[in-house]
Amino acid sequence: MKTIDELLADGVDGKRVFVRADLNVPLDGGTITDDGRIRAVLPTVKALADAGAKVVVASHLGRPKGAPDPAFSLAPAASRLGELLGSAVAFAADTVGESAQATVAGLTGGQVAVLENLRFNPGETSKDDAERAAFAEQLAALADVYVGDGFGAVHRKHASVFDLPKRLPHYAGYLIATEVGVLKKLTEDVKRPYVVALGGAKVSDKLAVIDQLLGKADRLLIGGGMAYTFLKAKGYEVGISLLQEDQVPVVQEYMERAEKNGVELVLPVDVLVSTEFPDLKTKAPATFTTVDADAIPADQEGLDIGPRTRELYASKLADAATVFWNGPMGVFEHPDYADGTRAVAQALVEADGFTVVGGGDSAAAVRTLGFDENAFGHISTGGGASLEYLEGKTLPGLAALED
């Protein structure tokens, strides 16, 4: 995989460089609530602009239905990128149409433009190879060189991620190079003890990675909504907690395999339960009780790990040489159910080993809860991409850059 340093060494002055970024930031109306993904691509964009390139940044945002939708416009991200760069960023009102063509044509060396949301064009996400290829050809006409730096999208076989780099000289940006380097530390020659903390809502989202980790990790800590399928697999009552009943047999088999392989599988010993899901909009105080994990009332749901589990998980992370964490331990968006996620984050901060926060909600939680990002070894920008890499899958966006 060629890197941006090789591109810069060859010279980019006056060249149109297409940067596939991941500007898929959370929005509250038109306000960005977490600009982490924009800041992550800054080193690549700035290096190219400083070297005199005409930088064309493109990304998706959300899941529009292949047509323009103002709710998913990248205009706020383009504005924020300009603020962070300290210079004006041009914005094209379409992806490959008149506005995009005119905006790119108007760039001079060192200037940056952002195209409108790639997913406003149905060719971006099409499962039809010809339709994707046609869109990729239109994008290729806007550039001389391709730099892939949208790690959060490399697991998608989309036109700008998979088809476009085949049509231009292509290089990996600084973010992708960093992310791949980190993931190799989690899969090749891993320093031990290797501890993985998994949370989030659905156990089905994590089954494939658990399957792989049962042969690689020393310890698995399970929290979040997915924990209740594990507790059910142990025969416990889980009340109205989030449960994937159809996955119980699979989880039981994984638990047996973990014991056979000598992998320590750690489940909550106590949980915070309530009859009501918290109001995440008003953040009104919640009514909850703490119960043992095997004593959840039939009419209540688990919403966070309890205080004894927080201490247990912190102790299981303390001696780790390598840690990967993906998924919150509870409904961290509400202050009454954030302590479990906060405890895991704090344990990572205090650990002496190499700590990786695996993107998605975990990365959002770290920032929401006020942790210093520099206190962690690495915070990934791609939760789904990170998990699929750890599953051993071939990621289309990385494969295209390696060709």
Q: Which distant-in-sequence residues (6+ apart) come within 8 Å of 394 by Cβ? A: none
Catalytic residue numbers, as ranges? 37, 202, 360, 384
> Any idea which residue has 């658990």 for tokens?
210
Structure-derived torsion over alpha carbons of residues 170, 176, 182, 188, reported in degrees to the nearest 10: -30
How many CA atoms lie within 13 Å of 350's alpha carbon, on the beta-carbon side? 13
> Any idea which residue has 């992370």 for tokens?
317
Alpha-carbon radius of gyration of the chain: 22
Which is nearest to 320 in space by CA: 357, 350, 360, 361? 350
